[in-house]
Chain A
Amino acid sequence: DVKVTQSSRYLVKRTGEKVFLECVQDMDHENMFWYRQDPGLGLRLIYFSYDVKMKEKGDIPEGYSVSREKKERFSLILESASTNQTSMYLCASSRPGQGSTDTQYFGPGTRLTVL
């Protein structure tokens, strides 16, 4: 069974703080993704990575950065948290190869509140 874990289920931070969201998968997947999910907007892709040390911008990368130092771990960083980054953050992973994004396995999500 694929397992994707995220470091926190709930997180409360203050405006201007640096925030780290960690994601770990145990199935040796090469592809990893970070999304945020907001009511009425659905899931929106922030960043993704197809390999260690590789990263690609998604649809809404502004205000975020990522780190992929190890294959199993993909970190999302909010350099200076703002209230409009209050959201549910979901990490996902998938198998390598063309078409591998077909089945993405999601972590349980981190609900971040920025005050």
Chain B
Amino acid sequence: RKEVEQDPGPFNVPEGATVAFNCTYSNSASQSFFWYRQDCRKEPKLLMSVYSSGNEDGRFTAQLNRASQYISLLIRDSKLSDSATYLCVVREGGKLIFGQGTELSVKP
């Protein structure tokens, strides 16, 4: 079993759609949780951290359920510029563990 598993992609959605990504992690001792974004042929960049209370940054909402070891990312009112691969990331000790990513393609 992979340490961090994400929804298989790709997700193809029209502009304005709401899209949700899910992620599960296997180590209950994981300490911190994040979503990174990676554009095509570019490096990953931090999108947002994920807190137990849930957190929002504009059109993006992240949720964490420690009991279920489940992380989610909701994108509202999708834009063409949201097209990218979204990486679910978990910190275990001194290391970050990356999911394989879910590709999102927003179409006009």
Interface residues of A (CB under 8 A from B): 35, 40-45, 48, 50, 56, 58, 90, 99, 101-104, 106-109
- Partner pick for B87 among A42, A45, A99, A101, CB 8 A cutoff: A42
List of 9 A-B pairs having minimum Cβ-Cβ separation, nearest first: A42-B100, A106-B43, A43-B98, A42-B98, A103-B46, A102-B32, A106-B44, A101-B96, A108-B43
- Chain A residue contacts of B98, Cβ below 8 A: 35, 42-44
Name B45's closest neighbour in chain A (CB-CB): A106
A99 and B96 CA atoms in complex are apart in Å by 10
B96 touches A104 (CB 8 A): yes
Q: A59 to nearest B CB, angstroms? A: 8
Nearest chain B CB to A82 CB, angstrom units:
23
Indicate whether B79 reaches chain A with its CB closer than 8 angstroms: no
- Overall SS of chain B's interface: strand
In whole angstroms, what is the CA distance A50 to B45 when docked? Answer: 21
- With A41-B100, A101-B96, A102-B49 known, 5 other A-B pairs at CB within 8 A are A40-B100, A42-B4, A45-B95, A90-B43, A106-B44
The residue on B at minimum CB distance from A108 is B43
Interface pair B43/A109, CB less than 8 Å apart: yes
Q: In the complex, which residues of chain B have a beta carbon less than 8 angstroms from the beta carbon of A58?
A: 95
CA distance A104 to B32 in the complex (A): 13
Return A57 CB to nearest CB of chain B, in Å.
11
Sample of 5 A–B contacts (CB below 8 Å): A44-B98, A56-B94, A58-B95, A102-B32, A104-B96
